[in-house]
Amino acid sequence: MRFLAVLCAVALACPVAIHAEAITVSGKGEVPVAQVTKKDLPSANHRALAAAQGVARADAITQALFQVYGNRTRLGKRADGVIRSTVDHSASMILETQVRTADVREGKATVEVVLLVDAKAMREYLQNSLDISLTADAENKLRIYVLSYTIEGMDVDRAVPQVLKEEVTEDQKNVHSAAQASSEVKASAESNAAR
């Protein structure tokens, strides 16, 4: 009974993590530290580390975007704008942030982060806010498989038949017109048989 109470408490404490489709991505950021006096050096280092963490976060969100949608080529001419907009609106997509390293050396602040990103929220943002179709590559394409089965008896592996050939039809009109032609031939054959 106590275990059930603890499990319910954990489930209520982190509902986002339970329902999210999470992906893990990492990013790295590097920013030069501003030239300041020795007295102001700690605050300059702090500002540089914060800026480097922002760059690392943007890098990680870009990696997540590429995993969810595709690479820069698939994004096309809008790539820079889509990446910038997704990074700007990514606060609700980030489930967890972990800073792996944060260091200032030789006048440069370097930060590496690991993010747990809600892929479903990112897809919804791309579709609803940026009007990007995630199925654009698959639209108007129909995949046809010709499978082999024996007529008599059972195949060795009936659940996974051998694929003899695979065709990708770019225009579904061809498929519909072939089906219509097949039905017309069948109707013609039935009318000839009735005579």
Based on the domain organization, do 25 and 78 belong to the same domain?
A: yes
Give me 93's structure tokens.
Answer: 């997509």
The answer as to whether 135 is a domain residue is no
Sheet holding 22-32, edge to edge: 22-32, 108-118, 94-105
* pLDDT for the residue numbered 65: 93
* pLDDT for the residue numbered 145: 55
Q: How many domains does the chain have?
A: 2
Cα of first residue to Cα of last residue in the chain, in angstroms, is 78
Based on the domain organization, do 175 and 121 belong to the same domain?
A: no
Based on the domain organization, do 99 and 151 belong to the same domain?
A: no
- Exposure string of 31-61, with b = 16+ CB inside 10 Å and e = fewer, is bebeeeeeeeeeebeebbbebbbebbbbbbb
Based on the domain organization, do 119 and 151 belong to the same domain?
A: no
**From CA 49, how far away is CA 54, in angstroms rounded?**
9
Length of the chain: 195
3-state secondary structure of 104: strand
Hunting for tokens 């760059």 — which residue is that? Answer: 55
Based on the domain organization, do 123 and 171 belong to the same domain?
A: no
**What residue type is assigned to position 133 of the chain?**
S
- Exposure string of 173-184, with b = 16+ CB inside 10 Å and e = fewer, is eeeeeeeeeeee
In which domain, by residue range, is 146 found? Answer: 142-194
- Domain end point (choices 75, 102, 128): 128
* pLDDT for the residue numbered 121: 92
* pLDDT for the residue numbered 7: 43
* pLDDT for the residue numbered 187: 66
Instruction: Specify the pTM.
Output: 0.59
**From CA 11, how far away is CA 94, in angstroms rounded?**
19
- Exposure string of 128-140, with b = 16+ CB inside 10 Å and e = fewer, is eeeebeeeeeeee
Based on the domain organization, do 29 and 114 belong to the same domain?
A: yes
Q: Which of 37, 31, 169 is nearest to 102 (CA)?
A: 31
**From CA 121, how far away is CA 134, in angstroms rounded?**
13
- Domain end point (choices 101, 128, 155): 128
Give me 186's structure tokens.
Answer: 């069948």
Q: What is the pLDDT along the chain (195 residues), one digit of tens a residue?
A: 444 444 444 444 444 444 458 999 999 999 999 988 888 888 999 999 999 999 999 999 999 999 988 888 888 888 899 999 999 999 999 999 999 999 999 999 999 999 999 999 999 998 888 888 766 554 445 555 555 555 555 555 656 655 555 555 555 544 445 555 566 656 666 666 665
The answer as to whether 8 is a domain residue is no
Per DSSP bridges, beta strands 108-118 and 142-147 are unpaired
Give me 112's structure tokens.
Answer: 């590496």
